[in-house]
Structure 1
Amino acid sequence: MTHENFNDLAAFAAVANERSFTRAAAKLGVSQSALSQTISALEKRIGLRLLTRTTRSVAPTEAGERLLQTVAPRFEEIEAQLAALSELREKPAGTVRITAGEHPAISILQPALKRFLPDHPDVNVEIIIDYGLTDIVAEGYDAGVRMGEQVAKDMIAVRIGPEMRMAVVASPAYFERYSRPETPQDLMVHRCINIRLPTYGGLFPWGLEKDGREVKVRGDGQLVFNNLGLRLSSALDGLGVAYMPEDQVLPHIAKGRLIRVLEDWCPYFPGYHLYYPSRRHSSPALSLLVDVLRYRSA
């Protein structure tokens, strides 16, 4: 059925319910003549008279009464649903689905949700840990979190974290058995705790840089993880050298549990961004969450 057919049926329902072209026209915001022409066209199209008109009154015919009983409840349901959607616009509710790597989920999303969720009991948040460059539209996500340079150009990107830095660390017990590396090349003789990410098709290269010189290190080791916690615990257990987000290891360095090496080879780089397709179609819940997550430098 075409859009015009729905308009004609809505016009008929308005006249039949009001029992008046004058009141129905005022309700619909159209002229009486235009409304009369619409009803006449509908009656001509279906081949039946739907309304009995006199100079004093309007009433549905038998066919009109049957049609009214059929379509009126449908329009009431539609109006009720539209009203419910309006309430959603005014009161954030529903589920926000986000895909993110483990580190931003732990370091940025979780602390933000601790502040956000108690004030918004009707909002649910689902976070899926995924290291791939997920197509959030195709996979049904509301938003994703990735490094700034990994966000597609057609997405709206909002910075949600500060610049980042990696750290190369190992335990004191490990460095009692192996000498501390002084250059990236020295890592090639160490037991590296490696990372496997799907976006790289293999082991994640450790990106080191100094004085404009970039080095990608792929060292050997007995352990490979795609998990942040296992890399950290393995380094603390003295099982090798790990390449970790700085914020995850600084407390352990401060307490002497880990020793940092090659610090001058670990520059800062753009941090995490939350991205989503369009402001126009974002839900009120997502819009509020974006505002909470938005990075504001001190």
Structure 2
Amino acid sequence: MTDAGREYLLACRRALRTLTDGEEFLEARRSDPSGTIKIACPLTMAREILAPLLRDFITRFPSLKMEIEPYSFGWDQEPREDVDVFFKLKAPKDSVRRVRSYPGTARGLFASPAYVNAFGSPADPDELAAHRCAGSGVWKLSRGSKEVTPNIAFHVVTSDPGINLPFALDGLSTRGRWGLKLASAWNILGLLALLNVVTRAILTTPGPLNLIHAEVPDRMIGMFPFLLIPGFFVPLAVVLHVLAIRSIHGSLAKSQISN
């Protein structure tokens, strides 16, 4: 063996010894790791997935500290050097980093049975514009090779599933058939209250139907601009109440047919 070969052999033995020592060190620390591990993840993931695991994790590794840094959907999601584990929603820009795929979430359109019974299910993506939707951004809906982007004005704008889920399960504040019945009763009560006001106004106004005599006669109702009340606002209120009642009864009938 040459002198160069002998030196190379000794260097390899030293390298192997260093690797063996490092492996033994890791094995000794594997059962009881210590230090701080920093995790960055979406806010919903921190609340719904990591939080329930903290108790068991700390019980199993009491010497290991954890620092969780949640971020919202709109923040910068590129990993930093001071973060040990980074969960991303989007593909990383730095392809050199070691990346493992994590089970994703189901994406789709969801509605409560009460909402579908009351307002029906949209047959076309464009009909979503007439429904009460919660979400954010642009919705791209696909079926096979066809992809559409409906124009939706969200009633609630948020990207947090923790808010969207209970809002959808609650029927998007419709409360199903009971809510429609309550809305119908409210409009009928409004018509009765309006009828009471109109009747009292007629009976207190000087004329052949003046059956209720007040100390001060009601003459202002025939003068401008008070003349607009019986001539415009009262008919407008009646028409709006009637249209609302018809719409509600139509939704109730549709709900009964669906059931």
Higher helix share: 2
Which structure has greater strand proportion? 1
How does the TM-score come out when normalised to structure 2? Answer: 0.47
Considering only CA atoms, is the larger Rg found in Structure 1 or Structure 2? 2
Q: Identify the structure with bigger relative contact order (alpha carbons < 8 Å, sequence gap 6+).
A: 1
What TM-score do you get using the length of structure 1 for normalisation?
0.41
